[in-house]
Amino acid sequence: MPWDVDETVETFVGRIREDFSHPKGLTFWVVADNLNKGAALNSIQIAEVLEAG
pLDDT (tens place) for every residue of the chain, 53 residues total: 556 666 777 778 888 999 999 898 989 888 777 776 667 777 778 788 888 87
Please report the pLDDT score of residue 52 as a whole number: 86
Beta bridge partners of 17: 27
- Residue 11 sits at the vertex; the CA angle it makes with 6 and 13, to the nearest 5 degrees, is 110
* Closest listed residue to residue 8, CA positions, set 42, 45, 41, 51: 41
Task: State the residue range of the domain holding 27.
Answer: 2-52
Please report the pLDDT score of residue 39 as a whole number: 72
Question: What is this structure's pTM?
Answer: 0.48
Taking the CB of residue 47, how many other CB atoms lie within 10 A of it?
A: 10
Please report the pLDDT score of residue 29 as a whole number: 86
Determine contact, residues 26/12, Cβ cutoff 8 Å.
Answer: no
The count of structural domains within the chain is 1
* Closest listed residue to residue 33, CA positions, set 41, 22, 25: 41
